[in-house]
């Protein structure tokens, strides 16, 4: 690719000298560009330009090659020193080459060309560090996996960055000294480990090229990911991402946003309480800027991260549940039970599991895939006392659970990961649970004694009870998919009658 780019540079230097830049292109494909397909499974490609007033050119010819075989030839008569040629390319594992010829001395001469152009689907990933983790183990590359520009994190987008256009997506990152990282490193075409794996699944399963543009910023709050119209766009994370998507020609073509963020908003009570209203604003701005947006995939946070010992992570995870319920466009995915959690981030294998979990939802929503098993995380539907000491928790799918898990030499039991309160908003407390068991999609909890309980929570905020060890199981899981059940906080328990 390096030598190919050098050839192009020399070619255009020569052509510019010979023809004195007679054409100023208004629209034209670029090397490695992805055009988003429409409902016809194809995309329009427009080649248009303006000529100098003194130009004597009479016509422009466009030749399009599909997989190196001539696909179409079109000519445009120059009128009022302008021309425009439109053609369509089709989605699939095909690469197109565009060659523009001008007539000089009754002979067509090659003036411009763009190679490796494809037609497929476009997505966005954004959020904080777990949205864009890179890895030295992420070596997969595919000519049909594309991205645009530089993922800069918090850094300003400089003139050098603006010159980076299309390229092959990567899950790796320059200068990584650990297996996983790259939280604050500029990364051209960087999409992160699980973004790259998601692209692999789509390309290999559905034979459709994919572009992902990742705008994640390590440790960022939801506020730092929001649009601020009063600020220059390239000074905000939202603006830098929108700039890249717009320059890629995809602003109205993005199918979905993948959003993994929230740890930084769990540190204070005021921050988590503002999360729902901030998400409302962010979602409205996404829909306004990315006008073709059909889905937002929201990852519920795993316990961990955050700068403080006191945390409101359990409360924030419940806010994420409420967001999922509120908006039809939002689909929530659990990170509970994902392998390789280190207290904040995940192993390379853990990030691959992110992709494994979310890919079926994408397949269902955008590739007409139907499944004979449940692909979503278990959600609590209701909880009720069925006797003075026994309650029944009903979920939306069959369950299994880990009875216990040994962490640092200590056994932690799932039955001790349910917490209770009498009043909404009270501090959660521990009640002695005699036993738990599962029957299909119900979890039976038997208390040791009667208690004044009206609300139930599943999972501690961040640490195992009485420790400063980040919670990492045991887990309640879906029987059909092995996805960890969504954490919930202070759900009402129906009274026994």
**Is 224 found in the same domain as 302?**
yes
Residue 426 lies in a domain: yes
**Which of 366, 388, 417 represents a domain boundary (last residue)?**
366
Span 454-496, pLDDT tens digits: 999 999 999 999 999 999 999 999 999 999 999 999 999 998 8
Q: What is the pLDDT of residue 1?
A: 47
**Is 387 found in the same domain as 358?**
no
Give Cα 124 distance to the centre of its chain: 5
**Is 244 found in the same domain as 343?**
yes
**Is 426 found in the same domain as 285?**
no
For the chain, percent of residues with pLDDT exceeding 70: 96
**Which of 89, 117, 145 represents a domain boundary (last residue)?**
117
Burial class (CB in 10 A: 0-12, 13-18, 19+), 424: exposed
Structure tokens at 142: 């595919």
CATH of the domain at 143: 3.40.50.1110
Arithmetic mean of pLDDT over the chain: 94
**Is 463 found in the same domain as 420?**
yes
Q: How far is CA 419 from CA 114, 136, 314, 453, 475, in A?
A: 61, 40, 11, 10, 15
455 DSSP assignment: E
The single residue listed with the structure tokens 């691959």 is 352
User: Which tops the pLDDT comparison, 332 or 153?
Assistant: 332
With 70 as the cut, is the pLDDT of residue 210 above it? yes
Residue 232 lies in a domain: yes
225: domain range? 118-366
With 50 as the cut, is the pLDDT of residue 428 above it? yes
Give Cα 360 distance to the centre of its chain: 14
Q: What is the pLDDT of residue 19?
A: 43
**Is 108 found in the same domain as 127?**
no
**Is 487 found in the same domain as 392?**
yes
Distance CA(403)–CA(12), nearest Å, equals 67
The closest of 40, 121, 52, 122 to 80, measured between CA atoms, is 52
* Candidate from 3-12, 192-201, 456-465 with smallest mean pLDDT: 3-12
Q: What is the pLDDT of residue 8?
A: 45
Write phi, then psi, for 306 (nearest 5 degrees): 85, 150
Residue 5 lies in a domain: no
**Is 319 found in the same domain as 450?**
no
Q: What is the pLDDT of residue 247?
A: 98
With 60 as the cut, is the pLDDT of residue 7 above it? no
**Is 343 found in the same domain as 262?**
yes
Span 353-405, pLDDT tens digits: 999 999 999 999 999 999 999 999 999 999 999 999 999 999 999 999 999 99
Residue 160 lies in a domain: yes
**Is 122 found in the same domain as 108?**
no
Rg (alpha carbons) of the chain, rounded to whole number: 27
Q: How many domains does the chain have?
A: 3
Structure tokens at 359: 């890919």
Classify the phi-psi angles of 209: left when phi > 0, otherwise alpha if psi is within -120 to 50, otherwise beta.
beta
**Pairing mode, if any, of strands 42-51 and 145-148?**
unpaired
Span 430-448, pLDDT tens digits: 999 999 999 999 999 999 9
Residue 415 lies in a domain: yes
Distance CA(446)–CA(449), nearest Å, equals 9
User: Which tops the pLDDT comparison, 105 or 339?
Assistant: 339
**Is 176 found in the same domain as 289?**
yes
Q: HSE-up of 481 (CA within 13 Å, CB side)?
A: 26
Residue 470 lies in a domain: yes
User: Which tops the pLDDT comparison, 165 or 56?
Assistant: 165
Span 19-30, pLDDT tens digits: 447 899 999 999
Q: pTM of the predicted model, to two decimals?
A: 0.94
**Is 354 found in the same domain as 282?**
yes
Q: How far is CA 147 from CA 170, 199, 357, 359, 480, in A?
A: 8, 11, 22, 19, 34
**Which of 102, 117, 132 represents a domain boundary (last residue)?**
117
């Amino acid at each position: 690719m390096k030598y190919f780019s050098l050839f192009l540079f020399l070619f255009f230097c020569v052509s510019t000298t010979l023809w004195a830049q007679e054409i100023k292109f208004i629209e034209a494909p670029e090397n490695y560009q992805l055009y988003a397909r429409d409902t016809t499974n194809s995309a329009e490609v427009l080649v248009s330009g303006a000529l100098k007033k003194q130009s004597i050119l009479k016509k422009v010819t466009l030749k399009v090659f599909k997989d190196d075989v001539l696909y179409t030839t079109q000519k445009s008569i120059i009128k009022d020193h302008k021309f425009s040629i439109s053609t369509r390319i089709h989605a699939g594992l095909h690469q197109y080459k565009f060659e523009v010829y001008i007539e000089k001395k009754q002979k067509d001469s090659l003036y411009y060309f763009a190679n490796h152009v494809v037609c497929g689907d476009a997505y966005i990933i954004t959020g904080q560090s777990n949205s864009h983790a890179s890895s030295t183990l992420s070596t997969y590359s595919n000519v049909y996996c594309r991205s645009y520009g530089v993922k800069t994190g918090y850094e300003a987008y400089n003139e050098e960055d603006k010159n980076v256009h299309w390229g092959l997506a990567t899950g790796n990152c320059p200068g990584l000294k650990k297996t996983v990282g790259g939280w604050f490193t500029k990364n051209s075409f960087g999409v992160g480990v699980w973004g790259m794996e998601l692209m692999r699944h789509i390309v290999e399963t559905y034979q459709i090229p994919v572009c992902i543009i990742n705008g994640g910023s390590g440790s960022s709050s939801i506020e730092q990911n929001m649009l601020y119209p009063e600020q220059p766009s390239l000074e905000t994370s939202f603006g830098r991402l929108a700039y890249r998507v717009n320059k890629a020609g995809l602003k109205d073509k993005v199918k979905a946003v993948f959003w993994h963020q929230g740890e930084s908003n769990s540190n204070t009570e005021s921050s988590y309480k503002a999360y729902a209203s901030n998400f409302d604003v962010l979602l409205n701005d996404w829909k306004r800027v990315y006008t073709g947006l059909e889905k937002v995939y929201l990852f519920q946070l795993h316990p961990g991260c955050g700068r403080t010992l006191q945390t409101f992570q359990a409360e924030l995870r419940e806010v994420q549940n409420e967001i999922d319920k509120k908006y039809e466009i939002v689909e929530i995915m659990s990170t509970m039970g994902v392998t390789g959690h280190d207290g904040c981030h995940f192993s390379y294998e853990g990030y691959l599991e992110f992709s494994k979990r979310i890919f079926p939802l994408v397949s269902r929503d955008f590739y007409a895939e139907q499944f004979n098993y449940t692909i979503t995380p278990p959600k609590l539907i209701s909880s009720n006392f069925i006797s003075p000491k026994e309650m029944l928790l009903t979920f939306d799918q069959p369950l299994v659970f880990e009875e216990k898990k040994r962490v640092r030499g200590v056994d932690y039991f799932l039955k001790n990961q349910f917490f209770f309160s009498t009043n909404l908003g009270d501090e959660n407390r521990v009640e002695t649970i005699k036993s738990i068991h599962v029957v299909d999609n119900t979890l039976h909890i038997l208390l040791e004694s009667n208690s004044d309980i009206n609300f139930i929570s599943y999972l501690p905020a961040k640490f195992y009870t009485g420790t400063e060890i980040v919670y990492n199981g045991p887990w309640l899981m879906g029987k059909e998919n092995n996805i960890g059940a969504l954490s919930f906080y202070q759900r009402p328990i129906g009274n026994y009658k």
